Amino acid sequence: MEARTQRSYKIGELAAMFRTTARTLRYYEELGLIKPTDRAKGVHRRYAEQNIVYLKRVAQLKSYGLSLGEIRDFFALAESDRSGESCRRLLIKKYGERIAQAEAEAEAARHLAEELRWHVRQLEEVEDFFECPGKQCAACRHAGVCDLRASR
């Protein structure tokens, strides 16, 4: 069976592939997220095909809200525990944290939407926006929840 030659990429090629900059990729390299192949003196660094997988994983983890520091820790853990078990447990923990955060944000968004709905209803009924709060408060059906009335 013939050994497969792995393709390598220049930094600009990877940057274009991932719609990022060479500077970003050099930073990822500093963090240990991607690794160039050995290069001869005076020759531009090249990146093995495996770095595409790493960059896809970085993009995925970033999209889930993990910081580059957390991603770096994840990659370091993957190198120290080749079984993948530690990474699996860490990802479950991190994803659980992100789920809780997303649910809290969704609840806050639902609360804001409801608050805006009642303000829309109130504004549709008020005769003069600048008289609210004012003489209309006595007859306003929103008086029980109006935060402006309470400040008078």
Here the CATH number for the domain that contains residue 93 is 1.10.1660.10
In a domain, 72, yes or no: yes
Query: Residue 117 falls within a domain, yes or no?
Result: yes
Give the pLDDT of residue 20.
Answer: 95
Where does the pLDDT of residue 152 fall: very low under 50, low under 70, confident under 90, or very high at 90 and above? very low
DSSP label of 36: B
Please report whether residue 145 resides in a domain: no
* Structural domain includes residue 64: yes
- When pLDDT is cut at 50, 70 and 90, the band that residue 123 belongs to is confident
The one-letter amino acid code at 34 reads I
Q: Does the pLDDT of residue 96 top 60, yes or no?
A: yes
Give the torsion sign (CA, 50, 51, 55, 58).
positive
The answer to whether 66 and 93 are in contact (CB under 8 A) is no
Percent of the chain with pLDDT over 90: 57
Residue 136 counted as domain residue? no
The number of folded domains in the chain is 1
Domain holding 53, by residue range, is 8-127
Is residue 96 a part of any domain in this protein? yes
Gap between the Cα atoms of 69 and 128, Å rounded: 53
pLDDT of 44 reads 80
- Residue 135 in this model has a pLDDT that exceeds 90: no
